[in-house]
């Protein structure tokens, strides 16, 4: 969940990075009594995300700046659409402009890419999920954007759930006779509310993992045929997640194998920032 406290903390740090000793250009070139009106305009179509983050950049710079959001997070828009209207002291508007744009362009790019993935699999039961492959410090922002695009969030952090991958299983196997025993022993020490997911990369690993009564099994880098076999083998005993080799060209066929979840690292690590611009008009008030 993207809270105001998180927004303010991250945006304040970004503003401090961008103008640690003030905005010299605006302070020396723009009259103190100048006022600005600016439209946040879409140069291309997409899904809007980060409205409150955009507004925070101006609010934290100067409380006198007013931001009116025209569209809501999660809303699709066409090229040329006005997404928000900003008004207030010109110096402050210009100081906050780049930080506000950086965040909402990034977040809207993630939301738009997610929306395209979601549209590709809309005819199936599968859901699109993100991963922990997020920009350090911006996970809450980027995961909010995924939801705005119609996707779902995976575990938020290492503290939220157990997710055993090949390296974890290798260590467990050194202490136990087989994978089932290793997982069962580990699960016995966990709180009963903790979700457990296990990654496998071969069909023959499925049954020993399921025998430990885990909640989700990840079929990693499986072929389409093996995904279908894997779904049949699981037979509803756990949530089936597909991962690896997922892109806009392959996601439809992956979803049609019957998996429940498709995790896509590209949603956050490879999304292109959406082209949004701030069209500013400045007037100098008469003395």
Is 165 annotated as catalytic?
A: yes
Is 225 annotated as catalytic?
A: no
Catalytic residue, chosen from 220, 226, 256, 275, is 220
Q: How many CB atoms lie within 10 A of CB 21?
A: 6
On the 0-12 / 13-18 / 19+ scale of CB atoms within 10 A, 254 is buried
DSSP-based three-state secondary structure for 22: strand
| Cα–Cα dist 221/190, whole Å | 28
Is 125 annotated as catalytic?
A: no
Is 73 annotated as catalytic?
A: no
**DSSP one-letter code for 41:** E
Q: Return the closest-CA partner of residue 62 out of 17, 31, 19, 92.
A: 92
Q: Return the closest-CA partner of residue 99 out of 146, 52, 58.
A: 58
Catalytic residue, chosen from 52, 73, 130, 199, is 199
Is 62 annotated as catalytic?
A: no
**DSSP one-letter code for 273:** P
User: Which residue stretches of 158-222 are H helix?
Assistant: 166-173, 179-187, 206-210
- Cβ-based neighbours of 263, under 8 Å, separated by 6 or more: 129, 130, 131, 154, 218, 241, 242, 243, 246
Catalytic residue, chosen from 37, 116, 165, 228, is 165
Catalytic residue, chosen from 127, 132, 133, 237, is 133
| Cα–Cα dist 220/243, whole Å | 5
Catalytic residue, chosen from 8, 39, 62, 98, is 98
**Which residues belong to the active site?**
98, 133, 165, 199, 220
């Amino acid at each position: 969940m993207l809270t105001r406290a998180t927004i303010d903390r991250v945006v304040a740090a970004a503003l401090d990075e961008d103008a640690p000793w003030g905005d010299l250009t605006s302070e020396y070139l723009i009259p103190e009594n100048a006022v600005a009106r600016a439209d946040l305009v879409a140069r291309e179509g997409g899904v809007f995300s980060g409205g409150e983050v955009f507004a925070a950049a101006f609010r934290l710079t100067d409380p006198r700046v007013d931001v009116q959001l025209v569209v809501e997070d999660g809303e699709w828009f066409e090229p040329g659409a006005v997404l928000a209207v900003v008004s207030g002291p010109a110096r402050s508007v210009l100081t906050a402009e780049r930080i506000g744009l950086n965040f909402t362009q990034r977040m809207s790019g993630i939301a738009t890419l997610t929306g395209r993935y979601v549209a590709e699999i809309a005819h199936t039961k599968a859901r699109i999920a993100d991963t922990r492959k997020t920009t350090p410090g911006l996970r809450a922002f980027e995961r909010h954007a995924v939801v705005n695009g119609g996707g779902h969030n995976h575990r938020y952090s290492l503290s939220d759930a157990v997710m055993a991958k090949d390296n974890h299983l290798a260590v467990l196997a050194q202490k136990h006779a087989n994978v089932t025993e290793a997982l069962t022993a580990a699960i016995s020490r966990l709180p009963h509310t903790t979700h457990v997911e296990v990654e496998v990369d071969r069909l023959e690993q499925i049954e020993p993992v399921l025998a430990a009564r885990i909640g989700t099994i990840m079929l990693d880098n499986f072929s389409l045929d093996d995904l279908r076999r894997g779904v049949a083998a699981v037979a509803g005993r756990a949530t089936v997640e597909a991962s690896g080799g997922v892109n806009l060209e392959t996601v439809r066929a992956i979803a049609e194998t019957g998996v429940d979840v498709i995790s896509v690292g590209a949603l956050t690590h490879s999304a292109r920032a959406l082209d949004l611009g701030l069209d500013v008009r400045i007037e100098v008030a008469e003395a």
